Chain A
Amino acid sequence: MTLREEDIAAWRARLKCSVSKIDDIFADALADAMSAMSNDGVAKWLEGADIVCALGRGRDLPVIFLEEMPEVARHCGEGVVLAAADTARSLSMLTAPKAIAPFLQNLPFVARRLRDAELLRDWMRILLHTAKVAREAAEPLARSAPQLFAQVSIAGVKNWVEYGIRVYASQPWRLPDYFGLQTADAHAALQRERSGTLYIDNERRLRLYLRSFWGLDADFRPYSEIFDTTRKPRPYLDRLGFHIPDVYEDAFGVSGIDRYRAAIAHMAAHALWTRPFLADNFSPFQHLAIEIFEDARVEWLAMARYPGLRALWKKMHPRPEPDACPEGYSCIRHKLAMLSYALLDPEHGYDDPMIARYTALFAERMAADPHDTKIAPELGVKWLTENYTHDFRSPNIWFQDTEVPYRDDNRYLWIFLEDTDDEDDFHSDHGARDHIKGPAAPDDGIPPRHYPEWDYTAQTYRPDWVTVFERIQPAGDAAHIDELLKKHELLARRLKKVVDLLKPQLRRRIRYQEMGDELDVDMAVRAAIDLRMNVAPDPRVFQSYEQHGRDIAMLLLIDLSESVKEKIPGGDVTLLQLAQESTALLSEAVQALGDPFAIAGFHSNTRFEVRYTHVKGFAEPWGEEAKARLAAMEAGLSTRMGAALRCAGDQLRNRREEKRILMVLTDGAPHDIDVADPQYLREDARKAVIELQADGISPFCISLDPKADEYVTDIFGQTGYTVIDHIERLPERLPTLFLNLTK
């Protein structure tokens, strides 16, 4: 619509705002607004711009408002335009003016996603609420809006925001990172709100599918659609593997998991049967036609193997209406999509003679030799010559119903000899030259692990809340431990006796033996009765004993927090030293028993840094190296016990032993400097203990805190702990405790 100069001037005069920049864009913005809104709406639009202008929060704001709001009105109605201005004013009053610009800029996107005025108002409410209770969060939240709404619904955004405000209440300086989606837990919390079938939940299933159905062992590379919202990325295949979306919603009457399978099946068929063509030999139009025939050819081969694929693919393949493509548009994609559908579904119902001709030609060639790679280029080139019309060159390409959602972008099909100048090209990283079975890149270094933490006030987990860094304790002097052992020589000898006694007690009776150590009296009596009754007796009247092997794995987790450095009351040794002595003695005893065991220590410095130190692994023997590491153990910082328990649980979970014991040696209650509520970390540790027990691991706590009874029962349960009052006797108590536990 072209507007007359005087109309524009009249509208401009209604706007009181004097920002000069407005004059540059006003004509275009007004045209846009007139096309989207009624006159009444345009008036409101100008009113809103004045409100934003009057805030005095920068000259750009009214310009942004004028430019973006028509688009918002188009999706959610003109009623929301003033609401947006009011929201901007409220943000200003709540001293979060920096949030206004990103809020207005991202509003069209949010409107496009929500497509409902009431929902859009909800979003404004969420933002204002955030500005009210957590001012620092408003701006990053407004900036993150596109990424949030691309992934989750308004309800999901609401939950995510509320969760962030709640859990960061005590650390306001961290709010921008969370709301700016800069932290792992922010992403994890967002994932929780997503709907649809997530790749991450089905990775194994898809791998099994690829291996079982297609005999391929390629990598999956999930990508996210949120970073490219305008042009939806499509699955593709290259030398790195199968690139697939990180989530599929149920759609087309197909479940998310089956959509994954449909896409993978199509790409796998390419990987198995497509040999790339030289792209330079064909024109871009020919490319399109050849791709259609090659897609149909590999799908034909796949369906010969799995007839059920036809039904699955058919559900997802669009069926364009024959006359849908209007005059003046380029109909090449439309025609090819019809042909593609006809090639897939024999009952396509089109009566176009060209479609009949080419489906017949295709069928004929496939019947002759389906593995003939010349089928697609020959039929594709032929089709284009016979069907070419000048409107193909029209810049307006008719796209409706031409995208086949499960198919990849076909970059795998082409090899380019010359660098192409074509704009709109995905070929920059096409990897057809190499076959997809490349070796995976090696992983080096131990990446940090993220663990959830239990929030008892909200009764939910905070996902990926704690970061645990694992490391191997650097070695010290092993002789130091030997000295300690020598000091306790008497004790060591006594322990040895206990250990020796422990072994033979574990015997198992084997009954019903024909030969054995002793008569099984029950069976003998029964046999005698049988004899008297003239019945053939059972000759298996003996029993014998078998050494029943111990099947125990033990992990000793030592609290290495600051308090361990203190000297024990009335003595001149530190708790750390006692812990070393007792650990050494325990290790000697367990080694003698032959049970596999590991030793680890932990301390923490806020949730961002929980250090988990390996002193001895399950696989290595109790020898010089392990002793040297034990000798070098150091203490400091705090005790975030839940994360350490979970990390230790991971270590124990893979053990095959019947009984898996996690012994925790600690001198106090869990605490950390970033948590004010003493109950919080205790509740989390208790939750971690319950998780361990659910996994068949038995946690047991040895507390050196005489006042531990108050909390340790809560964490480890009535029978899961012992408190050692005479700390100096720890070296003696610890090994005997273990032996008693495992008798």
Chain B
Amino acid sequence: MADDAHIDISQYMIEEEPFYQPTGDEVALYEAAYARRLPVMLKGPTGCGKSRFVEYMAWKLKKPLITVACNEDMTAADLVGRFLLDAEGTRWADGPLTIAARIGAICYLDEVVEARQDTTVVIHPLTDHRRTLPLDKKGELVKAHPDFQLVISYNPGYQSLMKDLKQSTKQRFTALDFDYPEPEVETGIVAREAGIDTETAAKLVELAGRARALKGHGLDEGISTRLIVYAAQLIATGVEPKAAAAMAMVRPITDDADIRDTLMHAIDMVLG
């Protein structure tokens, strides 16, 4: 297709191997799904490694990856593309989903429930046997490249009742469950990501476990692996461990005085 000439595929390629620590058989399952180009949904709490997993798989499969962070102001045009006005008249610009379908990339819609429900419907024809994307305004029917695959992520934890995927959307995907890894695995991840010793990493993971036990008792979400890594990185740059933990792991997640106090005490007890 003519438009392909303008697209620099290399910008979407993952050059270096992202660090991803498998916690089960998710890599094999994903590869199987990709072999049949089945759409995949990644479910799990925030910061547990969903996006990192997609990057890792894209790198492993050597396919370009296009990531779209969804938000509530996003419209279907933001995904598909739109006509732009310019001095000579109008010009069509492909949206990220269309680009992915044309070049055969993995299109990753992050936190897809944040988008309005009518927006998400545009992905439907790409996710069943048709594998096409109609561009109504342009009058074009894009046939997806054989390598194209759609991946969405979805956090069942904090979504309100108002925000949920339609059944018709849900039932177009295969799904993988993600959760915070087991403490030993998570310790390894933190130590490696931040370059700190495993002993300190284990303490930070222990600390996160204290907060995760309070989920539903005033905390919407526990401390994510990502936040532990932040704390570890602060420690690696020379910040005193207690201060780093308070900065990265307690202050961001809650304003509830009782919970803060409990977690600050946990810092004293675990790192003390």
- A contact set with B: CB distance below 8 Å: 204-205, 207-209, 211-213, 215, 257-258, 261, 305-312, 514, 527, 530-531, 534, 536-537, 539
Contacts and interface: CB of A to CB of B under 8 A. Distances in A.
A329 to B, nearest CB: 37
Contact of B269 (A204, A208, A211, A312): A312
Given A305-B206, A534-B86, 16 more contacts: A204-B258, A205-B262, A208-B258, A208-B259, A209-B265, A211-B213, A211-B217, A257-B261, A306-B270, A306-B272, A307-B270, A307-B272, A514-B75, A537-B85, A539-B82, A539-B85
Given A306-B269, A306-B270, A308-B268, A208 B86 contact: no
Contacts of B272: 306-311
Interface string B190-226: 0000000000000000100011011001100000000
A308 B86 contact: no
A213 B87 contact: no
A213 B211 CA distance: 9
Nearest to B242: A308
Contacts of A310: 272
B210 A213 contact: yes
A308 B271 contact: yes
A527 B84 CA distance: 11
A659 to B, nearest CB: 20
A674 to B, nearest CB: 39
Q: Which 4 A-B residue pairs are closest in the complex by CB-CB distance? A: A308-B272, A308-B269, A306-B269, A534-B87
A208 B217 contact: yes
B258 A307 contact: no
Nearest to B265: A261
16 contacts: A205-B262, A208-B218, A211-B213, A211-B214, A261-B265, A306-B266, A306-B269, A308-B268, A308-B269, A309-B269, A514-B82, A527-B85, A534-B87, A536-B85, A536-B86, A539-B85
B269 A213 contact: yes
Contact of A205 (B75, B82, B258): B258
A536 B84 contact: yes
Interface string B72-87: 0001010000111111
A208 B211 CA distance: 10
Nearest to B211: A212
Nearest to B84: A536
Contacts of A208: 214, 217-218, 258-259, 262
A215 B213 contact: yes
B119 to A, nearest CB: 12
A531 B88 CA distance: 10
A668 to B, nearest CB: 43
Nearest to B73: A512
Nearest to A204: B258
Contacts of B269: 213, 306-309, 312
B213 A514 contact: no
A539 B258 contact: no
Nearest to B262: A208
Interface in B84-106: 84-87
Nearest to B257: A205
Contact of A212 (B86, B87, B214, B268): B214
A258 to B, nearest CB: 8
Interface in B223-270: 258-259, 261-263, 265-266, 268-270
A213 B213 CA distance: 8
**Residue with the highest number of chain B CB atoms closer than 10 Å, among A207, A527, A530:** A207
Contacts of B270: 305-308
A677 to B, nearest CB: 39
B79 to A, nearest CB: 13
Interface of B: 75, 77, 82-87, 206, 210-211, 213-214, 217-218, 258-259, 261-263, 265-266, 268-272
A212 B85 contact: no
A531 B213 contact: no
**Residue with the highest number of chain A CB atoms closer than 10 Å, among B77, B258, B263, B266:** B258
Nearest to A205: B258
Contacts of A209: 262, 265
Contacts of B84: 536, 539
A527 to B, nearest CB: 8
A483 B161 CA distance: 41
**Residue with the highest number of chain B CB atoms closer than 10 Å, among A306, A530, A531, A536:** A306
B271 A212 contact: no
A536 B214 CA distance: 50
Contacts of B217: 207-208, 211
B238 to A, nearest CB: 22
A536 B206 CA distance: 53
B145 to A, nearest CB: 27
Contacts of B266: 212-213, 306
A728 B269 CA distance: 69
B249 to A, nearest CB: 13
Nearest to A308: B272
Given A534-B87, A537-B85, A212 B261 contact: no
Nearest to A261: B265
Contacts of B258: 204-205, 208
A212 B77 contact: no
Contacts of B268: 308
Contacts of B213: 211-213, 215
Contacts of A212: 210-211, 213-214, 262-263, 266
Contacts of A514: 75, 77, 82
A534 B89 CA distance: 10
A185 to B, nearest CB: 28
A707 B258 CA distance: 49
Nearest to A209: B262
A205 B214 contact: no
B179 to A, nearest CB: 17
A582 B98 CA distance: 62
Contacts of B271: 307-308
Contacts of A539: 82-85
Contacts of B210: 212-213
Nearest to B91: A536
A725 to B, nearest CB: 46
A309 B77 CA distance: 57
A213 B259 CA distance: 12
Contacts of B82: 514, 539
B257 to A, nearest CB: 9
Contacts of A207: 217
A306 B265 CA distance: 10
Nearest to B78: A514
A344 to B, nearest CB: 15
Nearest to A528: B85
B160 to A, nearest CB: 12
A305 B259 CA distance: 20
B261 A205 contact: yes
A531 B262 CA distance: 58
B214 A531 contact: no
Contacts of A258: 265
A311 B269 CA distance: 9
A357 to B, nearest CB: 30
Nearest to A512: B73
Given A212-B211, A307-B269, A531 B85 contact: yes
Contacts of B263: 212
Nearest to B76: A514
A311 B270 CA distance: 11
Nearest to A265: B269
A3 to B, nearest CB: 59
A307 B206 CA distance: 12
Contacts of B75: 514
A129 to B, nearest CB: 41
A623 to B, nearest CB: 26
Contacts of A305: 206, 270
A459 B100 CA distance: 71
Nearest to B259: A208
A678 B71 CA distance: 59
A208 B218 CA distance: 9
A209 B266 CA distance: 9
